[in-house]
Chains A and B, each alone.
Chain A
Amino acid sequence: MYFLNQLSTVLQMGFIYAIVGLGVYITYKILDFPDLSVDGTFPLGGVVFSVLLTAGCPWPVAMLVSFFAGAAAGLVTGVLHVKLKINGLLAGIITMTALVSVNLLIAGGPQVSFSQETTLLNNGFLNGLARTAANYMQVLFILLIVALCKVLLDLFLKTKSGFLLRATGDNPQLVTQMGKNTDNYKMLGLSLANGIVALAGSLYCQYSASYSSNMGTGTVVIALACVIIGCVIAKHIRVMANTTGVVIGALIYYAILSVAMLLLGSDYTRLIVAVLFVIVLLFDTGLIGRTVKKLFRKRNKEDGDARA
């Protein structure tokens, strides 16, 4: 039972971060833009959702509004970058920093809790189930949102507009040649990405039935790790779309993170996140793969020498 409950937590959190990963996939992989505003837009989605919900707004509407709030914040990063020509990393940091205050002002304090309100993850239907069953039903609900985001994103990337978004990250010159302003596509991508991230933030708050101002710390690092793992997986499996890879990458990442947290305690969470990220990056550059290969080759050689 203990294992089942732990597993459901991994699946719940893994799928929530899979949504963040889908957003970050747009900026990091498609636009080739290192967007740090995610650390601010994830809690932004959460706080907008929480405040609306406690004010009596139904949860689907609150989720939709949190998406648009995130999209607006992403647009700010976009405008800073393409219109004011501020370096991409800095534009993200500026938005992220400003959002700390914005989030506090919206929340009116460091915490908003709403354990009595009806949400996607807390309603009459779920309360009628046994605890473990309810947990897995929650997993299913989150998975539905993941699937919705993934399918819509996949479809969008296959439209004419989606083609140009991909081309903007791939070769901006091509988009210019087509008589289109790459600025607009960068802003579109940043908006969409941060909207999705904020949507994930609203789910995160529903999962914990509260908003806390520190929920955003480290989001970028976690999401990037999910995206990088996912794309490495998708690269090696021909039929798998990158977006599917991201979802699976998020699950793998969160499983490893959970095990590490269980072994070391939750004080180490951010440290583990950071170290895991370094390991993921090393895998991505192929450094670890090469070193392992080299070690094995050396050992084989030594074995051979010994035999001779």
Chain B
Amino acid sequence: MLELKGIRKVFNRGTPDESVLFDGFDLSVAEGEFVSIVGSNGSGKTTLLNLISGTVAPEAGRIFLRGQDVTAQKEFVRARRIARVFQDPAGGMAGGMTVAENMAIAENKGRRYGLSAGLNKKRVAAYRDLLRPLGLGLEDKMNVPVGALSGGQRQVLTLLVATMTPVDVLLLDEHTAALDPKTAEQTMALTDAIVREKKITTLMVTHNLRFAAGYGTRLCMFDKGKIVLDVSGEEKAQKQVDDLLSLFNEISVECGN
């Protein structure tokens, strides 16, 4: 479904600070897999998501989405098949526009943005029904600018909105990191519910080892651009947070931290 082959990614190329992050990196994700990715800072987790979404281009290697080579495709073209939620709650929405307007934009993804009315009463009612089950009170805030919502409300909304239209891949970039523990927990549970219900192939970068162990069907641990642990199914189910933590500490010690 999603395949990265022989990826090479270098930062600060041609300067004394040149550093090779990925060299001959391969990753293959099957249809419907929910991959949790953990690793220390600078291990290449976010860069991986950036490579997949097209925000940065690899120096070498190819990226395939459902068998189609998308390496040369621009970010906005690739985005038609990819949804992404960022760590920063302000990242995925227009803060100055209302909840309803943001939802209307998202719902139209993949279609033409022409001169027909952006919103109508019927759609707003439909959006309200979509928000009501969340229990966050968002259904009463249809005309409130998204920027005025709390970080948790925004992140949940971003998640919901990103998956309103069918996409091939969902990329979650530490999407619970900026939230308080309780809200993070709720957001994570909602994420799991959405991914299961819509059967979306998902890559989730997280620093929360408990989320990584508890959710998803596959777990990858990154270190300096390499996958040092890759488990799925039964094997993953047996991995406890403590196992991950000790491996994580081992890597960090190797780094000299």
Would A176 and B79 be within 8 Å (CB), given that A160-B116, A161-B115, A163-B113 are in contact?
yes
Classify chain B's interface size. 20 to 34
Say yes or no: B93 contacts A171, CB within 8 Å: yes
Question: Quick check: B162 and A177 within 8 Å, CB to CB?
Answer: yes
Taking a contact as CB atoms under 8 Å apart, the answer to whether B97 and A167 are in contact is yes
Interface of B: prevailing SS:
loop
Chain A hits for B95, CB < 8 A: 170-171
CB distance from B98 to the nearest CB of A (A): 10
- CB-based contact A170/B113 at 8 Å: no
A179 touches B94 (CB 8 A): no
Q: A170, A171, A177: which contacts B83 (Cβ < 8 A)?
A: A177
Report the count of interface residues on A (CB-CB < 8 A).
22
Least Cβ–Cβ distance between A308 and chain B, in angstroms: 43
| A227, B187: Cα distance in complex, Å | 40
Task: Tell whether, in the assembled complex, residue A176 and residue B117 are in contact, meaning their CB atoms are under 8 Å apart.
Answer: no
Which chain A residue lies CB-closest to B105?
A163
Q: A160-201 CB contact bits vs B (8 Å, 1 = yes)?
A: 111110110011011111111110000000000000000000
CA A159 to CA B117, docked complex, whole Å: 4
List the A residue with the shortest CB-CB distance to B86.
A173
Is B108 part of the contact surface with A, judged by Cβ < 8 Å? yes
Query: How many pairs, one residue from A and one from B, have CB atoms within 8 Å of each other in the complex?
Result: 83
Q: A179 to B110, Cβ gap below 8 A?
A: yes
Q: Is B139 an interface position by the 8 A CB rule?
A: no
The A-contacting residues of B in range 68-115, CB under 8 angstroms, are 74-77, 79-80, 83-84, 86, 90-97, 101-102, 104-106, 108-110, 112-115
- Residue B148 CB within 8 A of the other chain: no
Contact partner of A160 (CB less than 8 A), chosen from B76, B84, B102, B118, is B118
The answer to the question of B119 belonging to the interface, with a C-beta cut-off of 8 Å to chain A, is yes
Evaluate whether A174 and B79 lie within 8 angstroms (CB atoms) in the complex, with A159-B114, A162-B118, A163-B118 already known.
no
Instruction: Flag whether A297 is at the interface (Cβ < 8 A).
Output: no
A156 in the interface (beta carbon within 8 A): yes
B residues with CB within 8 A of A: 74-77, 79-80, 83-84, 86, 90-97, 101-102, 104-106, 108-110, 112-119, 162
- A-B CB contact pairs (8 Å), 14 listed: A156-B115, A160-B113, A161-B113, A166-B101, A170-B95, A170-B97, A171-B91, A171-B92, A171-B93, A173-B91, A176-B79, A179-B80, A180-B76, A181-B74
Chain A residues proximal to chain B, CB less than 8 Å: 156, 158-164, 166-167, 170-171, 173-182
The 4 A-B pairs of least Cβ separation, nearest first, read: A179-B80, A170-B94, A160-B113, A167-B94
